[in-house]
Amino acid sequence: MFQQLYLSVLLACLLVPSIAFPSYGHESKGANVKFPKPQKYTGPMKIPDRHHPYRAPGPNDKRGPCPALNTLANHGYLPRNGIASAGDLITASTEAFNLGYNFSMAVASLAVLGRGNVLLDKVSIGGEHREVPPLPGKIDGTPGGLSKHGKFEGDISMTRLDAFHGDPAVFQPEMYKDLLAHVDKYGDGDIVTPEVFQEYRWKIHNERMADNPVLNWHTGRLGFSYGEAGFILQLFRSSKTGNVTRQDLDKFFVEERFPENWYRKETPFEFSDIILAVNLVEDAHLVHPGKKDKNGTYVLETKEMNPWFETACAVYYDLLVPNIAAVLMKTRGQTRKNVDAYLGGMFNLFEPAGCPFMYPEGPAEV
């Protein structure tokens, strides 16, 4: 009798706090984030190898706004159901595309911090999935997956609609046709040149400026959207031929499948390469980061909005500080350990540029 009372009091003591404070840090339910080691061989290589055959996705497999991640999942470089850990994203993108190690670690970390579950170390490359539930107590809303607008997915994409106009994760054949028309006009025969993206990006830039009253084209988004054009020129290119062709574009964008006899890049694609790639695509027509206000007027970004404006740390600040939920810093145990690992993964990329370590201060549940 006394023993039973004692037991129930003890149980109550143990249970009550875990009801009041959802067990963010429950070791048994979490994953301990550990980034994979960098690949040893970083030269060119035929992709896919025989262990990664193409298989079309099934009805329950998630696919989203990134043609490269969709391709990686269709070949099993990422789990075919489209649910990946940060380590999966790093291993797959460095192995199959020769994405730089530091670079892959930073984007993978941002993906899980912004659109995944940091305790379970999982993110959907498409929409919501039961393997990526909200954190206990829904402290940061539902993860959304990479298909969800904001935080990572953003405006003025090349083959996807702005969220204002429709589902921003779905490939749009009409937009792609327009891109190919630019290959006809500005390319070198079937070879896709930088001019193709200089002109195509400029065209869609002006179109979205005109037709999206809630356009949000902040510094990080400018970097990503021009960077992604650079990815196409540099990473969809076969190092065997040295060029990316319109046939290659068809493979990656329409089939989401590696071209036949395709070789990954000769050397890893690092942060310095992305800066060169962004500058090259932006070279022909200068564009400015900003956001439409309530009246639909495009307001340019200033130093007041981003203290690191026009420095190498501007993108780091923009993608992390106002973007990722501050509440993640209030977690404990395994959750907080993982958050720190991802923050370290982002810092790693920007540390060589002299940036200070930054912390998330953004709103939750967006």
Half-sphere exposure of 222 (CA within 13 A, CB side): 21
Q: Does 293 bind ligand NAG (CB under 6 A)?
A: yes
Give the position of tokens 């690992």. 341
CB atoms within 10 A of CB 87: 16
Q: Does 348 bind ligand NAG (CB under 6 A)?
A: yes
Q: Does 241 bind ligand NAG (CB under 6 A)?
A: yes
Buried b (16+ CB within 10 A) or exposed e, 70-84: bbbbbbebbbbbbbb
Q: Which entry of ligand HEM, ligand NAG, none binds 152, CB below 5 to 8 A by partner kind?
A: ligand HEM
Residue 53 contacts residue 76 (beta carbons within 8 Å):
yes
Give the position of tokens 């990422």. 78
User: Using CB under 6 A, which residues numbered 135 to 194 contact ligand HEM?
Assistant: 146, 152-154, 157-160
Q: Does 248 bind ligand HEM (CB under 6 A)?
A: no
Q: Which is nearer to ligand HEM, 24 or 264 (CB)?
A: 264
Dihedral angle, C-alpha 337, 342, 345, 347, nearest 10 ° = -90
- Least CB distance to ligand NAG at residue 105 (A): 8
What is the full DSSP assignment across 203-220? HHHHHHHHH-TT-EE-HH
- Least CB distance to ligand NAG at residue 212 (A): 17
> How far does CA 118 lie from the centroid of its chain?
15
Q: Does 188 bind ligand NAG (CB under 6 A)?
A: yes
Q: Which is nearer to ligand HEM, 140 or 155 (CB)?
A: 155
Q: Which entry of ligand NAG, ligand HEM, none binds 188, CB below 5 to 8 A by partner kind?
A: ligand NAG
User: Using CB under 6 A, which residues numbered 298 to 327 contact ligand NAG?
Assistant: none
Q: Does 232 bind ligand HEM (CB under 6 A)?
A: yes
Q: Which is nearer to ligand HEM, 111 or 222 (CB)?
A: 111
